[in-house]
Structure 1
Amino acid sequence: MKFNFFRKNRKENSSGSPENQNTDPEAQTHVTLLPGVARAEMLRHAWSKKTLIIAYAALFFVAFVIQFCGVASRAYTPYATSSFRQHSMLTTATVVYKIVCVISLPWVARIVDCFSRVTGFFIALVFLIATYVMFAASKNVGMYLASQIFLGIGIPSYVMMERVFIADTTQILNRGLWTALPTAVASIPTLYVASIVAEKMLEHSTWRWGYGMWAIIIPVSLAPLILIMWKLDRRAKRYGITHNIKSTLNLPEGSWYKKVAHLLYVELDIVGGLLMLTGLSLFFLPFTLTGSASILEWNEATTIVLLVIGFLVLVLFVFWVLSKFPKRPFLSVSILKNPSVLMACTLPLFDAINTSLSGAYFPSVLQVSGHFTVGEAARIPRAANVCQMVGAVLVGLLIKYTKTAKVFMVSGVCLIVITQGFFCYLANNNGGFGSELHWTVIKVFEGFGRGFYNIPTIISVQANSDPSQIAPSIAMFTMFNQMGAVIGNSVSASVWNELVIRRLTQYLPEASKSSAREIFGNIRVAIGYAEGTPEREAIDRAYREVLQKQGYISLGFLLPALIIVFFIKGFDPTQRTSVNVDDDGEVVLTSSAVGKDGEAQLNTIAPNLSSSSSNSDIAEEQESSKGTSEEKKGELGEVTDEGK
């Protein structure tokens, strides 16, 4: 049984009003749904208002736990790497994490589409447990970096599933608001509580227990949400809504390994994914491993070979995606050919470069040059994240009630550029360093700017995409963001590894120059020198100057974003879709745009499931088009009766 989307002309709308008739010529577009997508569409009918409220409550609780875990874990990272005498490996660990994020996002999304939403949450749970067990048990930097690989699968899997869940249960006009709410509500308390807990954990225990306790907390917090999704999936099966849905995978006849090979090669395009993983790793990791005090030098044959091979593999990946070999390419080529979507995706790319380049070592510089505590150094950059969430909620409300978005996108990018200029000034102001108040104010405005541009940009990507490419375009948006982080962290590490050791050797007193490498490799040694001593003043100056240099480079990457934002195509936020089922039992999505008179104007289209409405949004549509709602009930009743 295959579920298809198609455009279908209706001679008159459900209410029978002739002025609302659709006069477009008859056209049909068939798109075969993967099992997970079709199952999610049928599962939509099993939601009740009570179940939906419980599920969202569980989602908010998990968001709080994930946010708490993330803030606390970032505070342990400098101490974990320093215990291995590899503090400069901070960005290497981050780049490894971001590369895995880039690769895992399309795969997780495809797996969820092939199977079910529960599968995605379960993947996130398994990898998160393995991550924090490995973090706690790390005995060397190699095992620590291996933990980042598992984290790079676990966190994106959860984030992806959170967005998919919200997309399954909200309309596009409200989706920005509901996407921001769980993280926004969780961010405000975790800003203070998590950093305090991390500080106390380092004082009274070890960073190993700081990581290890989350291997127990996370599964307990995720269990209710997974249980709800699993029960609903079983209920959908029991009522026959997902009857014989696996046939849409078109698996070949024969043994199980033929089916597995088909799944990996055709559905997941494992060849394309591995090419991209290899190319990104070989090309970007050398940037984090080279420098005056690193294991590689720029003029070494190993560095040159890694860069050349990495570049060639990335070129081969591009040819593979553009060729006819993959039936379902790892990246969607049609999205990259859409100018508006491509420009919208470049905004988070440049912003992520800026954030990662100037922020990779920012907490360490706060502790060393700013003489801040661990908690203060964690709270200052975290203020930007909290205000980003608050700004996202605020702009979501503004879009909902003003029915416009472009102005918020432009103002957000402009605000980020201005705050980055102040960042460069505060990093090294005539030998001085900004106070906690200065840095907090800068991060607050930066966060609001990021929240103001981010939500409208996400909606713009969905609205300007081809209707059948909405879900892949969202994945592409997230991938561009992660790619920006890979580039930013790589450049940041290259600058840090090359300049810090030089500045330390230049500024340290003659008797202490031999300690430059030890100071460079361990943050505890750097902050161990008493304030006011010649050694500490030299260390402070070296860290300040390098941070300012990173800030200037970040500002240069932001300038293209300031230009591109003005050329992104606008969109109509009032467009929304609803679920219908035709007489043949096939799924039809109907687009509605609220007119000036408040009535819903309906046109049948064929958008992707990720923009379809839920039962919670059908209630809204009943107020604007009562006749349409009655038709939906009759059609959904036919599907349920057939399932029974």
Structure 2
Amino acid sequence: MRSLFKTVLSQSKPIVDEGPRPDDREAAAVSESKEAGLTSDERPPSSDGDDDSINKDAQAGVQKMEAITKTWKTRDLYIAYFMIWLIYFVDAIQQGMGTILTPYVTSAFQEHSLTATISVASSIVGGVSKLPLAKLIDIWGRPQGFLLTMCCMIIGLVLMAASNNVNTYAAAQIFYWVGYNGISYVTTIFIADTSALRNRGLVLAYTSSPYIVTVWITGPLAQSVLNGVGWRWGFGIFAIVTPIVCLPLYFLFAYNERKAVKSGLLVRQKSGRTAWESIKHYFWEFDIICVILLSAGFTLFLLPFSIYSNQKYGWKDPTTISLIVIGFVTLIFSAVYEKYWAPVKFLPWELLKDRTVLGACVLAAVLFVEYYIWTSYFTSFLQVVLRLQVWQTSYIGNIYSIGSCFFSIPVGLAIRRTGRFKWVALYFGVPVTILAIGLLIHFRHQGTHIGWIIFVEIIYAFAGGACVICEQVAVMAAAAHQEVAVVIAIEGLFSSVGGGIGSTVAGAIWTGVFPHKLKEYLPAETQDQWATIYGDLVAQISYPVGSATHAAIVAAYDDALRNMFIAATTITVIGLVAVMFWRDIKLKDFKQVKGNVI
């Protein structure tokens, strides 16, 4: 991996991008495309000149990043990418371990059925938060946004370690996912700022490669935590480790920004506003009202689908109905407010009209919907039905991480060599994803050899790695440098909302099928214990294989998972249609960033 990275880096040279104004963008793109002999579907959105000066029309955060890349040495570039790799490494361990621990946390509060529900609000808020974060890093700077998201992640970890009920844990998850998604988002922007467009798929693959290693660590670590210090310290340890790992990257960028200021390359200008005027300015600049409306609307609308079975009258319960209605009305109102009243527009409507951007965002949403539908209770299935240990479950569950990250490297090389990305997603990524999930419909039964599950996970992982790289390259290729932050934020919003929808669907299927089938199948001697069995993973595992109660639990799992796999397979077809609408942009010979980059 190191030699591959060095090979690409050694071929890098200062790359320039004048960054034309929006009104000149199309004309410049057409002119350069004619010279290159490209059709309208092949050309990127902007042209690049030979002027290496900082784009004065860009926002302050973009100018700062261009100044940093023009100031720092190749050594700093190496150090930055190593630090990003290390951050991904630590975050991957924590996130993978947290996924394993969450069912045990909810079971400790006798609320195992809320495993999927908890991720709904955190996924949505974590995704919506990327848009104001995009504004923040474009206005204030990348390092400042990185520092803010790191603090959110630490707060979430501390709250998870200290939580005494499922409500506190759910709130902690929101802080955690805002921070986790934010760190991942800002580092992705770092990558976009410091890599050429044709190399970006390969660089994204490099920075995600830690998952190849962490897959072997998270399972034994989670098992050790459960058997030793307990799940609270499992989160507490990372509350200490996270700032130690993240702060050096912040200081590296801050140091080079200061160098750019001292050299006169970057001029800091005072706003001339008072403190109160600044508060009002950024309140409207970040479109806080729309952020609140979107977050509340999606959360209120989606939550009832996973908790309706806990209400007295189910779907007819006044609470269920009112949450759906209020959530729907709030979403409509947020769109109306954004279109007619917002002083600063939150959503870049012009960018969303680009079929490549919109198609990539739809694919991102679909991939998260299907993933969370079939994986929300998959680790529980492996332990209860196939009787795997926690560490074995971790290995199976993390095949996607290691496989997708491993396969994204040859995908990145293929994109770099051919200068194309659409064909990878259209002819391999999405079709094989549909095939893999469809095969799980058949392999969900008790007695299935674990080798078949591993085989399906591997081909699903390879396809997923191809889809993710192509989707990210697509949104970046369709935007100018000064628009990269916002299009990645939009892609992240679609992904997180897709994850929330997927968790909602999984929760709705689980709560709508599993408890009813469980009561139907349980033998008479354990009928009165159905509520405990339904809400506690440990109780489900405690019944020996071959007993009537275990057989009943397995049968209930079988019915619930069948519906989940069918739903996931069906929804993925939409992703295939979305990829068909992408423009087949040629990445070769086009430059998007400036300075000393890869």
Per-residue deviation, 1:103: 1.5
SS in 2 for 1:572: coil
Pairing 1:164–2:200 present: no
Alignment match, 1:520: 534
Pairing 1:106–2:106 present: no
CA shift digits 1:32-79 (9 cap, x unpaired): 432212111112221101111112111111111111111111111011
Per-residue deviation, 1:4: 8.0
- Matching residue's letter, 2:501: I
CA shift digits 1:549-597 (9 cap, x unpaired): 11011111112222332232211021422xxxxxxxxxxxxxxxxxxxx
Structure 2, unaligned runs of 5 or more? 1-17, 29-34, 37-45, 50-54
Report the Cα distance in structure 2 between the residues aligned to 1:564 and 1:34, rounded to whole angstroms. 31
Residues 465 and 45 of structure 1: CA distance in aligned 2, closer, same or farther (over 3 Å) = closer
- Matching residue's letter, 1:358: W
Report the Cα distance in structure 2 between the residues aligned to 1:457 and 1:284, rounded to whole angstroms. 25
Report the Cα distance in structure 2 between the residues aligned to 1:171 and 1:371, rounded to whole angstroms. 48
Alignment match, 2:423: 407
- Matching residue's letter, 1:261: K
Alignment match, 1:461: 475
- Matching residue's letter, 2:116: T
Alignment match, 2:266: 242
CA shift digits 1:142-196 (9 cap, x unpaired): 1101101101210111011111111111101101111121222x11121111211
- Matching residue's letter, 1:376: Q
Alignment match, 1:424: 441
Report the Cα distance in structure 2 between the residues aligned to 1:31 and 1:316, rounded to whole angstroms. 36
Alignment match, 2:12: none
Alignment match, 1:493: 507
CA shift digits 1:319-348 (9 cap, x unpaired): 12222x323322111122222321222112
Residues 205 and 32 of structure 1: CA distance in aligned 2, closer, same or farther (over 3 Å) = same
Structure 1, unaligned runs of 5 or more? 11-18, 578-610, 618-644
Residues 433 and 466 of structure 1: CA distance in aligned 2, closer, same or farther (over 3 Å) = farther
Report the Cα distance in structure 2 between the residues aligned to 1:59 and 1:454, rounded to whole angstroms. 19
Per-residue deviation, 1:534: 0.8
Give the one of 393, 397, 401 matched to 2:409: 393
Per-residue deviation, 1:401: 1.2
Alignment match, 1:629: none
- Matching residue's letter, 2:66: E
- Identity %, equivalent residues: 27
- Matching residue's letter, 2:496: Q
Per-residue deviation, 1:614: 3.3
Give the TM-score normalised by structure 2.
0.89
Map 1:38-53 to 2 at 5 A: 38-53=63-78
Alignment match, 1:223: 247
SS in 2 for 1:213: helix
Contact 2:19 2:481 in 1 (8 A): no
Give the one of 236, 260, 263 matched to 2:282: 263
Per-residue deviation, 1:5: 4.5
Contact 1:5 1:31 in 2 (8 A): no
Alignment match, 1:290: 308
- Matching residue's letter, 1:231: Y
Per-residue deviation, 1:360: 0.7
Pairing 1:272–2:272 present: no
Residues 4 and 500 of structure 1: CA distance in aligned 2, closer, same or farther (over 3 Å) = closer
Report the Cα distance in structure 1 between the residues aligned to 2:336 and 2:146, rounded to whole angstroms. 33
Report the Cα distance in structure 2 between the residues aligned to 1:386 and 1:237, rounded to whole angstroms. 42
Contact 1:272 1:329 in 2 (8 A): no
Give the one of 375, 388, 393 matched to 1:359: 375
- Matching residue's letter, 2:252: I
Pairing 1:190–2:214 present: yes
Per-residue deviation, 1:466: 6.3
Alignment match, 2:564: 550
Moved more, 507-516 or 473-482: 473-482
Residues 31 and 128 of structure 1: CA distance in aligned 2, closer, same or farther (over 3 Å) = same
Higher relative contact order (CA 8 A, sep 6+): 2
Residues 473 and 4 of structure 1: CA distance in aligned 2, closer, same or farther (over 3 Å) = closer
Contact 1:172 1:575 in 2 (8 A): no
Report the Cα distance in structure 2 between the residues aligned to 1:575 and 1:303, rounded to whole angstroms. 55
- Matching residue's letter, 1:356: Y
Contact 1:35 1:246 in 2 (8 A): no
CA shift digits 1:357-388 (9 cap, x unpaired): 11111111111111111111122121012211
Q: How many residue pairs align between the two structures? A: 557
Report the Cα distance in structure 2 between the residues aligned to 1:488 and 1:86, rounded to whole angstroms. 19
Per-residue deviation, 1:454: 2.1
- Matching residue's letter, 2:500: V
Give the one of 350, 375, 378 matched to 2:391: 375
Contact 1:422 1:442 in 2 (8 A): yes
Report the Cα distance in structure 1 between the residues aligned to 2:349 and 2:423, rounded to whole angstroms. 29
Alignment match, 1:203: 227
Give the one of 311, 314, 319 matched to 2:331: 314
Per-residue deviation, 1:31: 7.9
Give the one of 109, 119, 141 matched to 2:166: 141
- Matching residue's letter, 2:357: V
Alignment match, 2:43: none
Alignment match, 2:201: 176
Per-residue deviation, 1:473: 1.9
Alignment match, 1:592: none
